Chains A and B, each alone.
Chain A
Amino acid sequence: MYRETEIIKEATPGSNGEAGVFTINVGPQHPATHGVLHLVITLSGETILKVEPHLGYIHRSIEKMCESLTYRQFIYVTSRMDYLSAHINNHACALCVEKGMQIEVPPRAQVIRVLMDELTRIASHELWWGAMAMDLGAFTPFFHAFRERESINDIMEETCGARLTMNYMVPGGVMQDIHPNFQNRVKEFLRLYKRKIHEYDELVTGNIIFQNRMKGIGLLTPEDAVSYGCSGPTARGSGVSSDIRKVLPYEIYDKLEFDEVLETGCDSFARYVVRIREMQQSIRIIEQLIDTIPEGDFQAKTKAVLKLPKGEFYTRVETARGELGVYIVSEGGTTPYRIKFRSPGFSNLSVLDHIARGSKIGDLVAMMGTLDLVIPDIDR
Chain B
Amino acid sequence: MSNEELKSSITGLLPSVAFEEGGEWLNILIEPGDWLSLAQQLRKDEALFFDYLFCLTCIDWKTHLTMVYHLSSTKYRHTIVVKAKLDRNKPEIEAVSPVWRTADFHEREVYEMFGVQFLNHPDLRLLILPDGWEGKNPLRKDFEDPVNMIRL
Contact = CB atoms under 8 A, between A and B. Distances in A.
A61 B148 CA distance: 10
Nearest to A99: B24
Contacts of A146: none
Contact of B54 (A1, A311, A342): A342
Interface in A47-66: 55-56, 59, 61, 63-65
Contacts, number: 90
B130 to A, nearest CB: 6
A229 B51 CA distance: 9
A143 to B, nearest CB: 35
Nearest to B55: A342
B70 A314 contact: yes
Nearest to A323: B54
B131 interface: yes
Contact of A329 (B59, B106, B139): B59
B23 A311 contact: yes
Contacts of B105: 346-347, 349-350
Interface string A205-243: 000000000000000000110111101000000001110
Interface string B28-57: 000000000000000000000001111101
Find the residue from B102, B129, B131 having the highest chain A CB count within 10 A.
B102
A68 B152 contact: yes
A312 B101 CA distance: 26
A195 to B, nearest CB: 38
Nearest to A326: B55
A114 B125 CA distance: 40
Contacts of A227: 51, 100-102
From DSSP, what is the main secondary structure of chain B's interface residues?
Answer: loop
B77 interface: yes
A351 to B, nearest CB: 8
Interface string A16-45: 000000000000000000000000000000
B74 A240 contact: yes
Contacts of B104: 350
Interface string B59-89: 1100000001010001001000000000000
Interface residues of A, number: 44
A229 B53 contact: yes
B70 to A, nearest CB: 7
Find the residue from A64, A240, A241 having the highest chain B CB count within 10 A.
A64
Given A227-B101, A347-B102, A338 B54 contact: no
Contacts of B125: 3
B24 to A, nearest CB: 6
A327 B57 contact: yes
Nearest to A65: B152
A313 interface: yes
Interface in A269-315: 311-314
A59 B128 contact: yes
A61 B133 CA distance: 14
18 contacts: A3-B125, A64-B138, A68-B151, A227-B51, A227-B100, A229-B100, A229-B106, A241-B74, A311-B22, A311-B23, A312-B23, A325-B55, A342-B55, A342-B57, A346-B105, A346-B106, A347-B102, A351-B101
Interface of A: 1-3, 55-56, 59, 61, 63-65, 68-69, 99, 223-224, 226-229, 231, 240-242, 247, 311-314, 316, 323, 325, 327, 329, 337-338, 340, 342, 346-347, 349-351, 354, 379
